[in-house]
Amino acid sequence: MIQKDEMKELAWAARIAVGEKDIPEFQDKINKKLAYYAVIADAPADGVPKTVNPSRLNTVLRKDAVVPSMSVEDALKNAPDVHETSFKIPKIL
Amino acid sequence: MTHTISKFKTADGKAVAESLEKIKKDGLGTFITVMTDCESAKTAGSGPLAGVPVAVSDNISTKAVETTCASKIMKGYVPPFSGKAVDDLEQAGAVIVGKTNMAEFGIFGAPSAYGPVKNPWDKTKKGGPSGSAAAVAAGEVAAAVCSDAGGILRVSAAYCGTTAFKPTYGAVSRFGLIYYTGSLDQIGVTASTVSDVAAVMDVLSGNDSRDTTSLPSKTDFSGKIKTGKSDDSGKTCESGNNPLSGVKIGIPNEYLEGVSSDVMERFEEAVSTFEKLGAVCEKISLKTAKYAQSAHDIIAAGESSAMLAKFDGTRFGPRADADNWHEMIAKTRALFGPAVERRIILGIYLLMAGRYNDYYMKSMQIRTLIIEEFESVFKEYSLLIAPSAMTAAPDLGVACAGGCGEELSSYSSAMAGTDLAGLPVAAVPCGFAGKLPAGLQIIGGYQKDADVIATADAFEKATDFVKAPEAV
C-alpha cells in the first residue's frame, strides 16, 4: 500500500501539483485500486507471452517514404509561447 | 418518430438548421462545441451522408475547431488538421454540427470538465459518459462518431436507447483521435438503427498509413445486411423468418453478474427472440472474466501515464505561471481533473521497477489468456451476448453500477474483456426497464464485424425497440 510520503513522490514523478489537502484522498483511492487488483495474483500466467495490443498484424512498420508533414507555423500555432521557430519555456534551473 | 439518416435526408434541405436549433434548446449538456457556422456547408458535399448532420466526440481533432477532450488542460486547443474520421465524414457529404461532451479524455469514471450529460428520456438521469448517444436519441444528429475504451460509447447507447458499434481493433483509423490508452481505444459510431450505424462505419472504414495499427484492408461492415446473411462460417446464412438458423450464441454467466432484475427480464426476453430467429443460445463460463477489469485498469493506467505526458503547457493548451520549467509543468498539469490525475499517478506507480512485473507485465500476460479463451469459445460459438449495462440509466450524481464508482477504466468485465481482445461489439436496445431503455451487446470474433452487425440487424427487425424519447 502506498504511504503518504510515497504518494507525494509519485505526484512529483507525474509532474502534477497535488495539493496537500488532496493527498489523503488520492492515497485512499489509489490504495483501493491496488487492493482490487489482488485478484490477478492467482491468474495462471507463468510463462505466458505478453500481448501489448490486440492487433494481429505481423508488422506495424510502414514504407520508409517521405510524405508531407506539418509546417512549423502550424506546429507552433497552439503554443503558449514561442521564439522564432521554437517553443519557448521558462528557465529550467 | 425515430431519427434515422433517411429522415434527416428528407428534411427538405433544412436538416442542419433544425439540428442546430435542437442543440441550442436541448439543455442536456450533449455538446461542448456547436459549429453554428456549419450551415453554409450543408449542400457542399455529395455521397452517402450528403447534408446529414452528424457529431464527433471532442477528442477527435477538427481543423480550426477547438478540441478539448472535455478537459481544462486542452482549453483553447485548435488543431491544425482534422482526424481521418472527420475527413471521411465530410467526404461522404456529412455536415459536422458539433463536438460532443464526454468523460475527460474518454476515461471511464472521469467527469467532464463541462458537466454531466443528461438523459433525453429523463433529464434527472445520466445520459452516459459520452454525449454522443444522447445527441442521437434527442434527434439532434443522425449519427455520432465517438471513441470507446471501457464502454463509454456502448454504455451511453444502452442508457439512451440508441445503437452503437465498436469495431475490431484497427478497422477504423485513429489518426487525429487524442486517445488516452492506445491499445484499448477505438473509434465507433452510434445512431438510431443498425443499418445507419453500419452505413457510417462503412464511411470510416479503410487503411490509413498514418495509424500504424490500421488494418490493411477495408472492412465491409454493412455487407451482410445487404445480402441477408448473418454468418459465413458455413453453419447457416439463411434470410427470411429464421435469419439466425444454425447460429450458436454463447451467454457468459460472468457477464450476467450484478445485472438488475428489470434489465435481466428484458435480456431474457431478448434471448427468446434470438431463439425464435433460429439461433441456439447456451450459457457458458469464461474463466478469464474475473481478471478482465483489473487487467484493463492496469494497462489503461500505465498507457495513460505515458500518453498524457505530452500535456505539459509547452506545445499546446494553457500554461500556468511559474518561475521555472518544473513548476510550470506541475501547475499546468493540475488542470487535469482529479480522476485523471489519479490515473496518471497510478500508472507511474504500476510501471515502476519492482511493481512492473506484478502488475503491468502480468496484465499483458492475462491479456493473452483472455484472447486465447475468446478464440477457443468462438470455435464453438458464432457470437456472445450479454446485457450492455447492468441497470437502466442511474440518477445524475450517483455512481453507476459498473466500475465508475471505483474509477475503474471499464464499466464491466464484458467491456474490459472485449477491449483487451480487440473484438467487435454492437450495443442495441432490447426494451425498457420502467420508462428507461435497456440494452444488450452482441460480441463477435476478431474481424467478424459484419456478422455482429447482421445479427444486430436481424434482432432489430424482429423487435420494436427503436424509439425516440418523445414516442414513449
In total, how many domains does chain B have? 2
Average pLDDT, chain B: 93
Other residues' Cβ atoms within 10 Å of the Cβ of residue B278? 18
Give the 3-state secondary structure of residue B146: strand
Residue B228 has pLDDT above 60, yes or no: no
Calpha distance B277→B369 (Å, rounded): 33
Pair B386, B406 in one domain: yes
**What pLDDT is recorded for position B26?**
86
Residue B467 has pLDDT above 50, yes or no: yes
Q: For B349-399, how does the pLDDT look when each residue is reduced to its tens digit (9 = 90+)?
A: 999 999 999 999 999 999 999 999 999 999 999 999 999 999 999 999 776
- Cβ-Cβ pairs closer than 8 A, A with B, add up to 175
Q: Mean pLDDT, to the nearest integer, of A1-24? A: 96
Nearest CA-CA distance, residue B330 and chain A, Å: 4
Of A11, A74, A89, the CB nearest to B80: A74
User: Mutate which of A28, A46, A50 to test chain B, going by most B C-beta atoms within 10 A?
Assistant: A50
- Nearest residue of B to residue A12, measured between CA atoms: B330
pTM of the predicted model as reported, rounded to 2 decimal places = 0.95
Q: For B99-133, how does the pLDDT look when each residue is reduced to its tens digit (9 = 90+)?
A: 999 999 999 999 999 999 999 999 999 999 999 99
The closest alpha carbon to B407, from B254, B300, B258, B290, belongs to B300
Q: Kindly give, in sequence order, each residue whose CB lies less than 8 Å from that of residue B388, ignoring residues fewer than 6 positions away.
A: B151, B154, B155, B157, B158, B427, B438, B439, B440, B441
Q: Is residue B102 part of a domain?
A: yes
pLDDT level of residue B39 (50, 70, 90 thresholds): low
Chain A partners of B420 at a C-beta cutoff of 8 Å? 54
**What pLDDT is recorded for position B226?**
65
**What pLDDT is recorded for position B234?**
41
Pair B116, B98 in one domain: yes
Pair B297, B388 in one domain: no
B78/A78 Cβ within 8 A: yes
Residue B176 has pLDDT above 90, yes or no: yes
Name the one residue in this structure whose C-alpha cell is 501515464. B305
**What pLDDT is recorded for position B41?**
62
Q: What CATH number is associated with residue B155?
A: 3.90.1300.10
Chain A partners of B406 at a C-beta cutoff of 8 Å? 32-33, 36
Q: Mean pLDDT, to the nearest integer, of B4-23? A: 89
Q: Is residue B472 part of a domain?
A: no
A40/B291 Cβ within 8 A: yes
A92/B325 Cβ within 8 A: yes
C-alpha B302: how far from its chain's center?
Answer: 21
Residue pair B50/B16 in contact (Cβ under 8 Å)? The answer is no
**What pLDDT is recorded for position B237?**
42
Residue A90 has pLDDT above 80, yes or no: yes
Q: Establish if A32 touches chain B: CB-CB under 8 angstroms.
A: yes
Chain B partners of A44 at a C-beta cutoff of 8 Å? 369
**What pLDDT is recorded for position B45?**
61
Chain B partners of A48 at a C-beta cutoff of 8 Å? 365, 368-369
Taken as a whole, chain B contains a residue count of 472
- What angle separates helix B289-307 from helix B362-380, to the nearest 10 degrees? 130
Q: Is residue B235 part of a domain?
A: yes
Calpha distance B385→B389 (Å, rounded): 12
Residue pair B31/B54 in contact (Cβ under 8 Å)? The answer is no
Dihedral sign of CA atoms B339, B343, B344, B346 in order: positive
DSSP 8-state secondary structure symbol assigned to residue B197: H
Pair B173, B307 in one domain: no
Pair B164, B130 in one domain: yes
A57/B342 Cβ within 8 A: no
Q: Is residue B158 part of a domain?
A: yes
Give the 3-state secondary structure of residue B302: helix
Chain A partners of B336 at a C-beta cutoff of 8 Å? 16
Nearest CA-CA distance, residue B317 and chain A, Å: 7
Q: For A16-75, how does the pLDDT look when each residue is reduced to its tens digit (9 = 90+)?
A: 999 999 999 999 999 999 999 999 999 999 999 999 999 988 776 778 889 889 999 999
Of B290, B334, B423, the CB nearest to A16: B334
Pair B144, B98 in one domain: yes
Asked which of B344, B363, B382 is the last residue of a domain, the reply is: B363
- Nearest residue of A to residue B405, measured between CA atoms: A29
Pair B125, B41 in one domain: yes
Chain B partners of A13 at a C-beta cutoff of 8 Å? 345, 348
Calpha distance B434→B424 (Å, rounded): 29
**What pLDDT is recorded for position B405?**
55
Domain that holds residue B345: 291-363
Helices first, then strands: H and E counts in chain A: 3, 2
Q: Return the C-alpha cell found at A58.
A: 505481423
DSSP 8-state secondary structure symbol assigned to residue B344: H
Asked which of B342, B363, B384 is the last residue of a domain, the reply is: B363
- Nearest residue of B to residue A49, measured between CA atoms: B365
Name the one residue in this structure whose C-alpha cell is 460480441. B443
B446/A33 Cβ within 8 A: no
Segments of B72-126 assigned E as strands: 95-100, 118-119, 122-126
Q: Return the C-alpha cell found at B249.
A: 450464441
| DSSP percent split of chain A into helix, strand, coil, nearest 5 | 40, 5, 55
A30/B333 Cβ within 8 A: no
Chain A partners of B302 at a C-beta cutoff of 8 Å? none
Name the one residue in this structure whose C-alpha cell is 521557430. A85
Residue B276 has pLDDT above 70, yes or no: yes
Asked which of B363, B398, B415 is the last residue of a domain, the reply is: B363
Of A2, A55, A93, the CB nearest to B349: A2
C-alpha B397: how far from its chain's center?
Answer: 21
**B442: β partners:** B385, B426
Q: Mean pLDDT, to the nearest integer, of B34-51? A: 77
Q: Mean pLDDT, to the nearest integer, of B142-171? A: 98
- Nearest residue of B to residue A6, measured between CA atoms: B349
A80/B368 Cβ within 8 A: no
Pair B267, B319 in one domain: no
Pair B274, B315 in one domain: no
Q: Write out residues 70-89 of A within 8 Å (CB-CB) of B.
A: 70, 74-75, 77-81, 87, 89
Nearest CA-CA distance, residue A65 and chain B, Å: 11
Pair B75, B187 in one domain: yes
Comparing B397 with B222, the larger pLDDT belongs to: B222
Pair B239, B297 in one domain: no
Q: Return the C-alpha cell found at A49.
A: 507471452
Q: Is residue B470 part of a domain?
A: no
Pair B144, B205 in one domain: yes
User: Mutate which of A26, A59, A61, A78 to test chain B, going by most B C-beta atoms within 10 A?
Assistant: A78
